[in-house]
Structure 1
Amino acid sequence: MESLYEIIDIKELMEDRFILHSNHPVSRKSKFGDECWDFTDENNKRISTIVDSKLKINWLEWIDKLPPLILEDTKALAFFFFKCPSILTTKVKTSSKGYKPNTVTAYISNFLRFIHQLCLNLTITLPEHSQTTLLNSFSDITLSDIEEHARKHIYPKEVINNIKYCLKGLSRPIVQKYIKGNIQWNVYDIKNLHFPTKEADTVKANFASKPLPDDYFQLLSKNATLDIIAFLKQINIPVESKIPNNYKNKLKCFFNKKSLKIMFEQYIYIREKEREYCIKFNKRTSHTSEMKNQFYKEHGIKIKDFQEMLTRVHKAALFLLIQFTGVRYSEAATFKVGCLKEITADMYVIRGTVIKNQASNLPEDIDEWVACSIVRDAVKVLEQISRFTFNKYLMSNNFSAVLNVREAPYSNTSINNLLSSYAAEVDVEEQFSYLHKDSNGKARRIVNKENVITVHRLRHTLALNLIRAKLGIPYISYHLKHVHTALVAREKINNVTLGYGGISNELFSEPSAIKQAREEQVEELYYPDSPVAGGINKEEYKARKKEFFQGTIVDEDEFNEIVADLKRNGAPFADVGLGYCGGKRDIILKNGTKKSPPCIGQLKCNPIQCGNAIIPKSKISIWKRVYKENKEKLLDPHFQYVRTEIQQFVNESKEVLENLGVKVSEL
């Protein structure tokens, strides 16, 4: 970000040697006394993805809305955000480098709006019918005023955090030396201040960092894969993803056309002509109407329908790019056309820029994310789309970039909404979404509150699944194997980092992900009432669990304590995909003889026949797939030569599902 002048030594402030004056610089372009603080920097590519409005604080727009003393004191607070952050925060990185301009502009803007609303609430009408606020400075605002205002207004959680941070900042002793108002609250008052929150914010907070459920993750991964591979094949671009056989027979064909190559090139030509006319007349025109009519006559497809198909493919590519790289929004926003690089034979990376916790004077595009095959295909799709958007950013919408306006990526909110929109679109069975009718009676699917997708949530999803891989749990998605393989290969090339965009340490040591992976095992294997299937004697296993807990605990607290200990240390079972294995021990038969377990190779467990195997409820989705796929094969003449074996798989999977409480007749 903006590389500001030197941070003020806190000793100068404490010893009253620092004087705040109007000519004190706050950025390369602005001084403290300016009506607008401008942090834009054409030479700093690291802020090129941030719109100018988020890099400016326009004090002038508040002159008629707030008392002068309140506005001046807020400017002083904003100054210390940049020049002496150590008096506002205990975070080492922030206190040594200063807050980033776009962070401060958000804090200050939300705070000013809050204070403006507070002033309006404390307004009186004068005899001549004019209105004036009762507030003159921060000295006139009491904690009771703030509490009453907080009770009556609902703000988003992020805004509440910004407001409270500024209120606490004003109460800091050093800040009070440089402001006119006598603050009537302290840090602890504000810390305990209660703001009502929106229900949506509460739901969002509960699920913001929670990985996607396995079924949801599978649904999105599979549909997105089918979408982009179908599109690439139809426009004659080589596909790098070697998809599983069970994907191939479900590959779609957009518009039932073998090829869309000619149509796609004609569509790009129309968009290019629209662009030319816009440049020539400096406005949108309808000069391409005849071309669009001709497109319909020639192909029988309306431009609008073709655009909708491209929008779906665009969403699918963005999902795959974000999900299987684990990027933060700020990092994904830096990916541009040409960012995919081959660094060694069969080793590809995406080059971009890590923004968080990084110095602003570092060059851009020096950070790398491994690109497995599906990510490379997603990038190909996004680069094709950029041909008619004239926007170099991969994370941008599929409309043409606005003339005479700097190219920019999607905002964080926009990309999150787009990802949720795609989820609703592909969830035709409405497992994770529902049909919503607007005021005009128009119906559309939207995802349930707990299934809203964000870039941040996808990052946690990837982290959890890579932790699962590290703990020996097989991948629940085909693509995760390729991500993990690429990571391991990258590690061999570079011992310093796994090359995963600087987040490898988080992904492979994230305490919450390790904790969650272990909790999943323990809850399924040890909770007394958790259903299980498999070759193990289920009744004997349940009885052993019940006996263990009854003989060990007398109340719920002790039960929770034992389970917590199991979660900390992990369960002594290996996840083998279809179930859990208690170890490759010989199985002792009733007559006392030993029998080798029916394992058929690494991760090729045969759990329904093995006395070491346990199949918990979380494996239902996998066994449903085994059941459905083998049922389909029974009807396929190509598999008649192994019909007996397939029927056995069907019977075994049916037995497992019924033991786990699934009504197979409804599948």
Structure 2
Amino acid sequence: ADQPQAARNVRGSKLKVNFNLYDNIPKFVQTELKTLFFYILLSPLSFRNEKKTKRLAKGKLKPNTLIGVFKSGMRFIDKVFDVAILEYGREYVHQEIKSLAEISTYEFEVAARSYTYNFDSTLLNFFTYLRHPLSSKEVLDGAISNFDLKSRIKPKGQVVNAESKIIPNSIFEKLSALSSLLIVDFLQELEEEVQDQNSLKQLKYRGSIWSRECGVNQSSFNEYRVLRLRYKNYSESYIRENYPVPDWIFEYGDNTEKSFMAFNKMELLCRARFMREPLRKHINLVYQACLYIVGQFTGMRPSEMSEIVVKDEQCLKKEDGHWLICSQVKKHRESYNGLFDEKWLAIPIIRDAIRAASIINTLKNNPYLCANADTVASCETPQAMGSSGIKHQINNLIDFFFGSEKVKSLAFYPYMMRHTLAYQLFRAELGLPFISFQLKHFITGIDRYTSKGGVSEDTLGYGDIAQQLSKNGRYSKNIRHQAELESIKATMDPDGNYAGVKAAEHKQHMSSLFNGYMASGYTKEEVFEAMVHQGIAIVNVGQGYCYGGQVEDFNDSLPCIGGLRCNPVRCGNAIVTKQNAPHWRGIYSQNMANLNNPAYSHVQEEIKAAIEEAKLVLTHLGEDVEL
């Protein structure tokens, strides 16, 4: 109640401390800790760490942050007093010990040896506060024991590396493409306008692949909505005022009362659950796709996603010709004034996702994007989901496309979408081909948005935007490094698959190079790491990599200058790698979509040739032709 503007993820227990849980700590010491808590909260500058804590230097400290630190600390202090009670007895400890400063090094050391919880930075932060000169002077009865906490409590968790924080390219590409098709397919069947014309074009080539098979249309959706709302006790008048009521409703009930109000609840439940089960499952799947697309191509934090209101598409706003999606920045709000200031670029598929989510949420009577799958009862207040709900929904989407084993191995969590977007932007900065059309839309939109002052006075590069997305993150450098390493491996791996006239020569050259290094005792991975720091002499041309700009010792005047109009499959200076596969897959799908289009009837032979060439390249690289 004291923090009504707190992010959805930190409401409830994260804003409360139950001191009754720490019953080993004497009341006098609890009072000391409570006093210290409020002292720090009211005057964080007095306790700032000059070397580490940048946010505290600005005088800002959120209650939930400090509460987390104190919960971790008090759990350990409770263990310390448990040791003291075993040594001296509960009555003595609770009546005679008036300050934490009275506890000796012995109790701290014994407690540390038998402590069963993980050692983490929050516990260290707690002791940093306890050992601050102000604490011993103003709150505690002197300084506490200066025992070595780090050497006594061993870390039990593993540090998460950058790679495990990123959705792999193969999954990212397929998940983005198929989620887009799910959304566009759903809107098409409901006869809604579609903004993402590229996905619409792909859908027409594939045909309606989901919604129609599951019985999605305007009539079935309206019927299903009435059943769900009625089961949650919404009145007939409310439903009639807000939504269309199908005619068939009046055919049921007794002869005297021609109204669906006569429906028995169990009958409604049976009709909704069993007769509409394929429809229900598919609608949930489309909603999960909406959630993923918005999270993936805005880079929002979970707390910001939870604030999005999709009812009547309220979150969408047009400024200076750009469509934006509006939410609220909750984390680092006091210092977050760059990309983006509570507004994120809404590329066409995001607008479609918001439209689809706003339609689906009429079933739930919940205005939030991050809404539970259930319908909110007429007597309840709608709530948005937090991180765990987002994780659960997107894991269901991953399970549908890739299976349960992939869900386990990927270990998805919501922040992965933000890190993945940053990673893909670093890739784009390095000249690696786009993975998915949606990323291309995002980058094109960012170019226009930033150049008009939407983010800064100067146009930001992709790497700058990626840096902003991972701002103040511990993994920013690791994510950039991983993108650079991928770029090297794409073109320099002696065991990789390559296509193009230059491919065999390139692979032989790489094998000779690596054999020399490995004979000197280096591993292949060590050579890759060294190459990251040295750079490469290859120009990316989207469909492949070009050696045309390279100056050889034996020929300093090669005719090709690495232009963008060559065909890498036939060019004598080019190689094609697995990293170029998305580009060739795009060529294949675009031409397949145009194959039966009357507007391209005069170039059918050329289209067929392009399709065959793309298929050959993808097959040679060992890649799937279609997602």
TM-score, normalization by structure 2: 0.76
Give the counterpart of 1:379 among 354, 366, 370.
Answer: 354
What is the aligned length?
Answer: 579
**Match in the other structure for 1:229:** 184
Q: Deviations over 1:299-357 (max 9, x none)?
A: 99624443322221111100000000011122222222311111234x20011222222
Change in Cα spacing, 1:594 to 1:645, as seen in structure 2 (3 Å) is farther
SS of alignment partner, residue 160 of structure 2: helix
Q: Is the 8 A contact 1:69 1:180 kept in 2?
A: no
Taking the aligned partners of 2:358 and 2:624, their CA distance within structure 1 comes to 44
For residues 186-201 of structure 1, the aligned pairs below 5 Å read: 186=147, 189-197=148-156
Matching residue within 563, 576, 579 for 2:541: 576
Measure how far apart 1:584 and its partner are: 5.6
Matched, 1:268 2:225: yes
- Equivalent position of 2:568 in the other structure: 607
Q: Specify whether residues 46 and 106 from structure 1 end up closer, same or farther in structure 2 by C-alpha distance, changes over 3 A only.
A: closer
Structure showing the higher helix proportion among its residues: 2
- In structure 1, what is the Cα distance between the partners aligned to 2:316 and 2:369? 11
How big is the shift at 1:623? Answer: 5.9
Tell me which moved more, 558-567 or 314-323. Answer: 558-567
- Cα distance 1:507–1:162, how it changes in 2: closer, same or farther (>3 A)? closer
In 1, Cα distance between equivalents of 2:384 and 2:286? 18
1:193–1:630 Cα change, 3 Å: farther
Q: Give, in angstroms, the shift of residue 373 of structure 1.
A: 0.5
Is 1:534 aligned with 2:499? yes
Task: Report if the CA contact (8 A) 2:500-2:574 is conserved.
Answer: yes
Q: Distance in 2 between matches of 1:66 and 1:287?
A: 59
- The letter of the residue matching 1:481 is K
Q: Which residue identity lines up with residue 520 of structure 2 in the other structure? A: D
- In the TM superposition, 1:387-426 aligns within 5 A as 387-401=362-376, 407-426=382-401
- Residue identity matched to 1:164: L
The answer to whether the Cα contact below 8 Å between 1:220 and 1:423 also exists between their aligned partners in 2 is: yes
- Which residue of structure 2 aligns with residue 356 of structure 1? 331
Q: Determine whether 1:220 maps to 2:185.
A: no
In 2, the alpha carbon distance for the partners of 1:580 and 1:70 equals 67
How many angstroms apart in 1 are the aligned matches of 2:539 and 2:514? 22
Q: Does residue 521 of structure 1 match 2:497?
A: no
State the Cα distance separating 1:173 from its structure 2 match.
3.2
Q: Aligned AA for 1:575?
A: N
Higher relative contact order (CA 8 A, sep 6+): 2
**Is 1:368 the counterpart of 2:343 in the alignment?**
yes
Are 1:184 and 2:145 matched, yes or no?
A: yes
Counterpart in the other structure of 1:31: none
Residue matched to 2:240: none
- Percent identical pairs in the alignment equals 22
Matched, 1:467 2:426: yes
1:84/1:95 contact within 8 Å kept: no
Residues in 1 aligned to 2:413 and 2:22: alpha-carbon distance in whole angstroms: 37
Inter-partner Cα distance in structure 2 for 1:588 and 1:558: 28
Quick one: distance in 2 between partners of 1:634 and 1:462? Answer: 33
User: What residue in structure 2 maps to residue 253 of structure 1?
Assistant: 210
Deviations 1:539-598 (A, max 9, x none): 4334433555667897346987875453135323233333222236899999x998769x
- Which residue is 1:40 aligned to? 3
Structure 2 residue ranges without an equivalent (≥5): 238-259
SS in 2 for 1:195: coil
- Aligned with residue 320 of structure 2, among 313, 322, 344: 344
Give the structure 2 partner of residue 30 of structure 1.
none
One-letter code aligned to 1:235:
L
CA distance in 1, matches of 2:618, 2:380: 60
Q: Is the CA contact 1:210–1:461 (under 8 Å) kept in the aligned structure 2? A: yes
Aligned residue type for 1:412: S
Cα distance between partner residues in 1 of 2:114 and 2:54: 33
State the partner residue of 1:68.
27
Q: How does 1:9-158 map to 2 (within 5 A)?
A: 39-41=2-4, 45=5, 50-59=10-19, 61-62=20-21, 64=23, 66-86=25-45, 87-89=47-49, 90-116=52-78, 124=86, 138=100, 139=103, 142-150=107-115, 153-155=116-118
CA–CA separation in structure 2 for the residues paired with 1:627 and 1:375: 25
SS in 2 for 1:348: strand
- Within 2, Cα distance between the matches of 1:544 and 1:66? 69
> In 2, Cα distance between the equivalents of 1:400 and 1:664?
40
What corresponds to 1:17 in structure 2?
Answer: none
Q: Distance in 1 between matches of 2:531 and 2:191?
A: 53
Cα distance between partner residues in 1 of 2:64 and 2:40: 12
In the TM superposition, residue 476 of structure 1 has moved relative to its aligned partner by 0.9
Paired position in structure 2 for 1:312: 285
Q: Distance in 2 between matches of 1:258 and 1:605?
A: 47
Moved more, 405-414 or 634-643: 634-643
Number of the residue aligned with 1:243: 198
Hey, what does 2:255 align to over in structure 1? Answer: none
SS at match of 1:342: strand
Check the 8 A contact 1:608/1:656 in 2, yes or no.
no
Match of 1:452 in 2: 411
Residue 274 (structure 1) shift: 4.2
Write 1 or 2 for the structure with the bigger share of strand: 1
What's the CA shift for 1:369? 0.4
Q: Secondary structure at the match of 2:319?
A: strand
CA distance in 2, matches of 1:287, 1:114: 58
Per the alignment, residue 10 of structure 1 pairs with none
Aligned-pair Cα RMSD in Å: 4.8
Write out aligned runs for 1:259-338 (5 A): 259-276=216-233, 290=264, 293=267, 302-337=275-310, 338=314
- Range with greater deviation from structure 2 (131-140 or 69-78): 131-140
Distance in 2 (CA, whole Å) between partners of 1:192 and 1:295 is 59
The Cα shift of 1:242 comes to 0.9
Q: What's the offset of the Cα at 1:265?
A: 2.2
Structure 1 portions without partners, runs of 5+: 1-37, 281-285, 435-445
Alpha-carbon distance change, 230 to 117 in structure 1, aligned in 2, over 3 angstroms = farther
Looking at structure 1, the residues matched to 334 and 470 of structure 2 have their Cα atoms a distance apart, in angstroms, of 24
- Of 175, 200, 211, which residue of structure 1 is paired with 2:135? 175
Q: CA shift at 1:495, angstroms?
A: 6.0
SS in structure 2 opposite 1:249?
helix
- Provide, for residues 50-98 of structure 1, a one-character-per-residue CA deviation record: whole Å limited to 9, x for no partner: 5344333344x34745322332232233224313334253312223323
Q: Aligned with 1:341: secondary structure? A: strand
Q: Whole-Å Cα distance in 2 between the matches of residues 63 and 548 of structure 1? A: 63
Using a 3 Å threshold, how does the CA distance of structure 1 residues 391 and 489 change in structure 2: closer, same or farther? same
Which SS does the other structure have where 2:569 is aligned? coil
The verdict on how the C-alpha distance between 1:236 and 1:620 changes in structure 2, with shifts beyond 3 A counting, is closer
Q: Match of 2:395, as an amino acid?
A: S
For 1:196-229, what per-residue CA distance to the aligned partner results, in whole angstroms no more than 9, with x for missing partners?
535xxx3x82367632111100121122112211
Given the superposition, is the C-alpha separation of residues 492 and 627 from structure 1 closer, same or farther in structure 2, using an over 3 Å criterion? closer
Tell me the TM-score normalized by structure 1: 0.72
CA contact (8 A) 1:122 1:133 kept: no
Cα separation, 2, equivalents of 1:246 and 1:223: 10
Q: Which amino acid aligns with 1:242?
A: Q
Distance 1:559 1:40, change over 3 A: closer
